[in-house]
Chains A and B, each alone.
Chain A
């Protein structure tokens, strides 16, 4: 088990190094930041001074190493546009994105699993079929369209919920701000969370349903019925646990993409999170911010998958012995 975890951690580090290389090469190959930072009136001396100051005169491997060294310590350099440390900017924005991702992830997982189990058990029921048919909408409509439709219905027509922003936030500790504690904060979370989580929810639901149907056909479910166990015990104890083994991997991947895809939702709802920051950074070729965002997303993806792999072994005893 320990060897298994060490091996997975090693692989994760390798992935991060490669992503780091990609992120870093942006500095080198996507335009010249000096051009953007200094205006038309620059002198040759200005350019040279800034180049030295930013360390851009050093050879590529040295720059990469310095970048990694900084990244490990959470130092991603200074934003070209705002002139503040990137880490500080991202930290300031992170709570908004993380809270949004948390709520929509929770929404996707809880509702996805519940509906998946329901549609699997009541396979031929009318309600289950209606749910299955309407789930196609969630899969096929693009996120921004869902967001706009929700805004039109609930903000413009009905006027129940705010159409943009985070509402009032309350600071916790030195840098975290939360929207969970105010009414307007909670209201503001509803539409973006649904928009962001709908696709994942329908995906999880359809996956749970097909896995569950597969599991319900297994001999051990038949044997459990032959032992006279109650339907509830069979469905929720025996079948659900077996269903979750493959589902967990996909959920892990999906949680990563919730954070990554938050960009679109954040843009639609003007949500003051990291995704919106990234979009703005692209517009201004603010490479340190882009690179840091890339690193952050990959750390999250890799971290979540590592946790999922370890979780896997806890659920499935066969892996525990094999590993």
Chain B
């Protein structure tokens, strides 16, 4: 085997705090060889990014490297002073961040940002630097590089921006690239392109890549070696085949088991029980105090017909001069009683807009939405209030969907008070019951949202949504912001609720494996149009529409993952 380009040896990072010393990274070691992609996987807070930052000397004070060594080309770099570390950054170690929308300075053209970096590291003249910048843009497959050189970041799409970020990281031919969640913010088709680009870099230019991610699919598709981190420590390292196919550590096994598979539908997700976290909680008597909704008249709870939504793109005084963007274009589907209907598609495909129109958050521009036979587009105010009580929504971001100034008890009680469903003295009792139903402790009601983790907050959102005893629940990317083990937990709760309370659900996601696990039928959206509606099993087995086929083809292959723990669950229930 060749000499490693970069070695991390027994790295420990200290953060002194008022409550004593906190060590987010403890005793971490791994090597990067030329042309090798090493995946570093783990949940949020596992210390993956902190390790990456420590390597390139970007730790934010007061965090500092306490012990251990970072060796680049045989030379220790962890002890260099700030100025020498700066010289290495960008020149010998490049970095790619998660969110391409915020990684580029909005006020400078991408050309200015490229030339600035090239001139700094290579000392070229302005014209030479420009030529090189255009060459780099060409290399990361940006069309018309000499024109786009003079454009600002906001004129690029997300995927194109991430290419610019990669071009910036490549400015001076670094031998190592640290890619921190490089595709997490991107759509699946763009993710595939960016990962291909990173793979090409490793193969053709013999760059060593540290790929930090929480996504097992990305690991399975891209990496050669994998390091699994948990709670600041490396629990397991090895080749990708070995770690995914035959994990030896209990944590790795539970992590892999919690990954939703596109191929196999499980009844419930096995939950990560390692380290005493995120275990299954007992939910006693889900259906207590819950009157199961009467079946709808026609068997179709929601009927959507010819639904259209246009957004004003450019305003003008004359109607003929106005330009519109059609976000949802003539979409029709039905959702049966007690069914989970999935809507999938890439960002901008209009799936959330459909949900918002059903929830009456957006007015409808064309078509009809019928709920249990009644057209909501022609309802009067009183009927709409009654309708809104029967539908509730769960949003993607559990951090911004809860008012930080309200106590959890008030958040959950708000729908009850708003719709005047219970006499005031009974509300407290009902709130505690709702919180209990989603597995939160009895005293949760008097705390504030910031005292809870992302998964717990999403459970608060669910409790709030259940307060009015809705018949129909809209979940808009309910788990996209969560770690895989927490995702498994939330999906299990949703499955239980759906089953025990007879809820009908509209489940929106860009994550095909999750949709596969949750939905009875799935609609695929693209550019505002619904291209295909199918039973879930049929859709995944034999997609009809070319776009669906393409989407499924881009899905990361998870065949390498061990099936351990899944089969028994699937068979046992």
Query: A interface vs B, CB < 8 Å?
Result: 218-220, 222-231, 233, 237-238, 241-242, 245, 315-318, 321
Contact = CB atoms under 8 A, between A and B. Distances in A.
B58 A228 contact: no
Interface string B516-538: 00000000000000000000000
B224 interface: no
Nearest to B154: A318
Interface string B78-99: 0000000011111100110101
Interface of A: prevailing SS: helix
B152 interface: yes
Contacts of A242: 105-107
Contacts of B121: 228
Interface in B81-128: 86-91, 94-95, 97, 99, 102-109, 116-117, 120-121
Interface of chain B, main secondary structure:
mixed
B88 A220 contact: no
B56 interface: yes
A228 B89 CA distance: 5
B154 A220 contact: no
Contact of A317 (B56, B90, B95, B107): B107
Contacts of B152: 317-318
Given A222-B58, A233-B116, A321-B154, A228 B106 contact: no
A224 B116 CA distance: 10
B89 A226 contact: yes
B140 to A, nearest CB: 15
A321 B153 CA distance: 12
B165 interface: yes
**Which of A224, A227, A241 has most chain B Cβ within 10 Å?**
A227
Contact of B97 (A219, A245, A318): A219
Nearest to B98: A219
Contacts of B169: 226-227
Nearest to B104: A220
A66 B538 CA distance: 80
A238 B89 contact: no
Contact of A228 (B87, B108, B154, B165): B87
Interface of B: 56, 58, 86-91, 94-95, 97, 99, 102-109, 116-117, 120-121, 152, 154-155, 165, 168-169, 171
A237 B116 CA distance: 11
Contacts of B171: 227
B88 A218 contact: no
B95 A226 contact: yes
B103 A220 contact: yes
Contacts of B168: 223, 227
A225 B94 CA distance: 11
14 contacts: A220-B106, A222-B97, A222-B103, A226-B56, A226-B58, A227-B94, A228-B88, A228-B91, A228-B117, A242-B105, A242-B106, A315-B107, A316-B106, A317-B154
Q: Which of B58, B103, B105, B171 has the most chain A CB atoms closer than 10 A to its own CB?
A: B105
B103 A219 contact: yes
A223 B116 CA distance: 13
B92 to A, nearest CB: 9
Given A219-B97, A229-B90, 11 more contacts: A223-B95, A227-B90, A227-B171, A228-B88, A229-B116, A230-B120, A233-B120, A241-B107, A317-B107, A317-B152, A321-B154
Most buried by B among A223, A231, A238, A321: A223
Contacts of B116: 229, 233, 237
Interface centre among A228, A245, A317, by most B CB within 10 Å?
A228
A100 B56 CA distance: 51
A316 B97 contact: no
Given A222-B58, A227-B117, A227-B168, A317 B106 contact: yes
A6 B179 CA distance: 47
Contact of A225 (B89, B91, B107, B154): B89
A62 to B, nearest CB: 33
B117 A229 contact: yes
Contacts of B91: 228
Contact of A230 (B86, B94, B102, B104): B86
Contacts of B86: 225, 228, 230-231
A223 B105 CA distance: 9
B90 A228 contact: yes
B117 A226 contact: no
A227 B88 CA distance: 9
Given A225-B89, A228-B88, A228-B121, A318 B99 contact: no
A296 B185 CA distance: 52
Nearest to B114: A227
Given A229-B116, A233-B116, A224 B105 contact: yes
Nearest to A245: B107
Nearest to B103: A223
A316 B89 contact: no
A220 B155 CA distance: 16
Nearest to B121: A228
The residue in A225, A233, A315 that gathers the most chain B C-beta atoms within 10 A of its C-beta is A225
User: Most B CB atoms within 10 A — which of A222, A226, A237, A315?
Assistant: A226
Nearest to A316: B107
Nearest to A228: B90
Contact of A238 (B99, B105, B120): B105
Contacts of A227: 89-90, 94-95, 117, 120, 168-169, 171
B520 to A, nearest CB: 40
B107 A223 contact: no
Nearest to B56: A226
Contacts of A315: 107
A233 B56 CA distance: 19
Contacts of A241: 107-108
A229 B108 contact: no
Nearest to A231: B86
B79 to A, nearest CB: 18
Which 10 A-B residue pairings sit nearest by Cβ, starting from the closest? Answer: A228-B90, A226-B95, A228-B89, A219-B102, A227-B90, A317-B152, A220-B105, A223-B103, A227-B117, A318-B154
Contacts of A225: 58, 86, 89
Contacts of A220: 102-106
Nearest to A317: B152
A139 B542 CA distance: 70
